[in-house]
């Protein structure tokens, strides 16, 4: 994405853009603290980042809506985060690259050869597996083949967005294309998930900064998510929590409770079981997040959030399926009861007859 002579290290790039060391250190401190690293790590990080060489990145887009790319690239005016994003060498990305047609695929092959074993692969979108993967192809190649091929020489993979991380919307019931997540397919490489629909830009750059600094992916939870950003639930950090504790719940989106900023649990907020950084990192340059705007969390960073009942049903709503099972149980129970009563009646009469 860079024209002309490109600087070799991130430090050079920052100097070229007139970024002061102080601003840079501040950024590193922010990244360090958001990743739960000790403050003493900030200068170390700054040093490592300044020396970091351009990182070759191959971005694969599969069954996706481009919302994730939008979130990450259109977030806001240039900041250090976006600089880091600029600094990586995005060697292949459908939507953003200038090259088109076969040139694009050739550029990808060239980057793979040059950086074999060292490049990062970022994936957005899920991979269809049904019917040999015919439901999504690029340049005549199925997504499945592309992913396997490109992952082979990767240092690590980052699944961006809920689709790449867990299958997402394409996987929603009845999953017509057999959509799968990257982790369902790639088992022999480190894969980190940055789920969200879309994910938070800062989380993305945090993970990349971590990789550039330490040369490896940050610590992850059981669902392959960076613990630093996904360790807490939305509910853990929600500023409406005091209302939850007091049992003050908005009943409608326009009632007095809603106007007073009460808890949105009854309106379907899934915050208690959703892991994401929205309540702390927030959106739009740390300005706000959905709950602050008056809507409950829909759990967009969790697997299968599309299929977990209505966004507006309270969390404790049971999933009934159908009432037939219960009706049948009542019928069977009553029958068995009558049956056993008749049996003991017979025995009773027997005893009475025998005296």
Partner 1 sequence: MDLLEFARGPAMQWALILLVLGTCWRIAGIVFLKRKPDLSEPRSHGQMAGALRTIFSRSVPARAFRSRVLYSNLLGYTFHIGLAIVVFAYQPHILWFESILGFQWPALPNAVISVAAVVTLFSLVALLVKRLTSPVLRLISNFDDYFSWAVTVAPLVTGLMAVADVGFGLRYETLLAVHLLSVWLLFAWLPFGKLGHAFLVFLSRGTTGALFARRGART
Q: Which is nearer to ligand HEM, 147 or 315 (CB)?
A: 315
- By CB under 6 A, is residue 297 in contact with ligand HEM? no
Q: Which is nearer to partner 1, 6 or 317 (CB)?
A: 317
25 binds, among partner 1, ligand HEM, ligand SF4, none (CB under 5 to 8 A by kind): none
Which residues are within 8 A (CB) of 236 and not within 5 positions of it... i.e. 6 or more apart? 279
Least separation, in Å, of the C-beta of 300 and ligand HEM? 18
152 binds, among ligand SF4, ligand HEM, partner 1, none (CB under 5 to 8 A by kind): none
The site string for ligand SF4 over 248-287 (x = CB under 6 A, - otherwise) reads: ---------------xxx---x-xx-x-x-x---------
Least separation, in Å, of the C-beta of 318 and partner 1? 5
Report yes or no: 45 and 63 within 8 Å, Cβ to Cβ.
no
Least separation, in Å, of the C-beta of 64 and ligand SF4? 17
The site string for partner 1 over 221-260 (x = CB under 8 A, - otherwise) reads: ------------x-xx-------xxxx-x-----------
The site string for partner 1 over 260-299 (x = CB under 8 A, - otherwise) reads: -----xx-----xx--------------------------
Q: Which residue is nearest to ligand SF4 (CB)?
A: 271
Among 234, 257, 268, 303, binds ligand SF4 (CB under 6 A): 234
Least separation, in Å, of the C-beta of 246 and ligand SF4? 11
Q: Which is nearer to ligand HEM, 14 or 279 (CB)?
A: 279
Residues 306-335 that bind partner 1 (CB under 8 A): 308, 313-321, 325-326, 328-330, 332-335
- By CB under 6 A, is residue 199 in contact with ligand SF4? no
Residues 254-273 that bind ligand HEM (CB under 6 A): 272
Residue by residue, what is the 3-state secondary structure of the chain? Answer: CCCCCCCCEHHHHHHHCCCCHHHHHHHHHHHHHHCCCCCCHHHHHHHHHHHCECCEEEEEECECCCHHHHHHHCCCCCCHHHHHHHHCEEEECCCCCCCCCHHHHHHHHHHHHHCCCCEEEEEECEEECHHHHCCCEECCEEHHHHHHHHHCCEEEEEEEHHHHHHCCHHHCCCCCCCEECHHHHCCCCCEEEECCCCCCHHHHHHHHHHHHHHCCCCCECCCCCEHHHHCCEHHHHCCCHHHHHHCCECCCCCCHHHHCCCECHHHCCCHHHCECCCCCCCECCCCECHHHHCCCCCCCCCCCHHHCCCCCCCCCCCCCCCCHHHHHHHHHHHHHHHHHHHHHHHHHHHHHHHC
Size of the residue set binding partner 1 (CB under 8 A): 44
Distances, alpha carbon 285 to alpha carbons 214, 261, 278, 280, 288, in Å: 26, 22, 11, 11, 8
- By CB under 8 A, is residue 345 in contact with partner 1? yes
Q: Which is nearer to ligand HEM, 12 or 236 (CB)?
A: 236
The site string for ligand HEM over 309-328 (x = CB under 6 A, - otherwise) reads: ------xx-x----------
Peptide bond into 163 cis (omega under 30): no
Report yes or no: 87 and 10 within 8 Å, Cβ to Cβ.
yes
* Strand bridging mode 56-61 / 119-124: parallel
60 binds, among ligand SF4, partner 1, ligand HEM, none (CB under 5 to 8 A by kind): none
> Which residues here bind ligand SF4, judged by CB under 6 A?
196, 234-235, 238, 240-241, 244, 263-265, 269, 271-272, 274, 276, 278, 289-291, 296-301
């Amino acid at each position: 994405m860079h024209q002309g002579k490109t600087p070799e290290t991130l430090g050079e790039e920052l100097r070229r853009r007139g970024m002061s060391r102080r601003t840079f250190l501040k950024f590193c401190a922010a990244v360090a603290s958001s990743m739960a690293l000790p403050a003493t790590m900030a200068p170390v990080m700054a040093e490592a980042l300044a020396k970091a060489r351009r990182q070759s990145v191959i971005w694969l887009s599969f069954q996706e809506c481009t919302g994730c790319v939008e979130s990450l690239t259109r977030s806001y005016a240039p900041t250090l985060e976006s600089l880091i994003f600029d600094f990586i060498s995005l060697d292949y990305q459908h939507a953003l690259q200038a090259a088109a047609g076969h040139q694009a695929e050739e550029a990808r092959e060239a980057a793979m050869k040059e950086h074999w074993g060292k490049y990062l692969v970022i994936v957005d979108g899920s991979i269809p597996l049904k019917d040999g993967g015919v439901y999504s192809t690029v340049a005549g190649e199925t997504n499945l083949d592309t992913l396997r091929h490109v992952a082979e020489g990767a240092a690590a993979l980052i699944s961006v967005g809920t689709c790449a991380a867990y299958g997402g919307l394409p996987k929603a019931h009845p999953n017509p294309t057999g959509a799968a997540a990257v982790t369902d397919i790639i088992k022999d490489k480190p894969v980190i998930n940055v789920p969200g629909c879309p994910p938070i830009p800062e989380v993305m750059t945090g993970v990349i900064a971590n990789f550039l600094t330490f040369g490896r992916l940050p610590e992850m939870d059981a669902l392959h998510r960076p613990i630093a950003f996904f360790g807490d639930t939305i509910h853990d950090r929600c500023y409406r929590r005091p209302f939850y504790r007091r049992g003050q719940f908005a009943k409608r989106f326009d009632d007095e409770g809603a106007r007073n900023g009460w808890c949105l649990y009854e309106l379907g907020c899934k915050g208690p079981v959703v892991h994401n950084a929205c309540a702390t990192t927030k959106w739009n340059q740390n300005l706000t997040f959905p709950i602050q705007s008056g809507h409950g969390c829909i759990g967009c960073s969790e697997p299968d959030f599309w299929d977990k009942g209505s966004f507006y049903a309270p969390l404790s709503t049971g999933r009934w399926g159908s009432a037939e099972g219960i009706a049948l149980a009542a019928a069977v129970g009553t029958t068995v009861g009558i049956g056993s009563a008749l049996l003991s009646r017979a025995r009773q009469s027997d005893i009475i007859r025998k005296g």
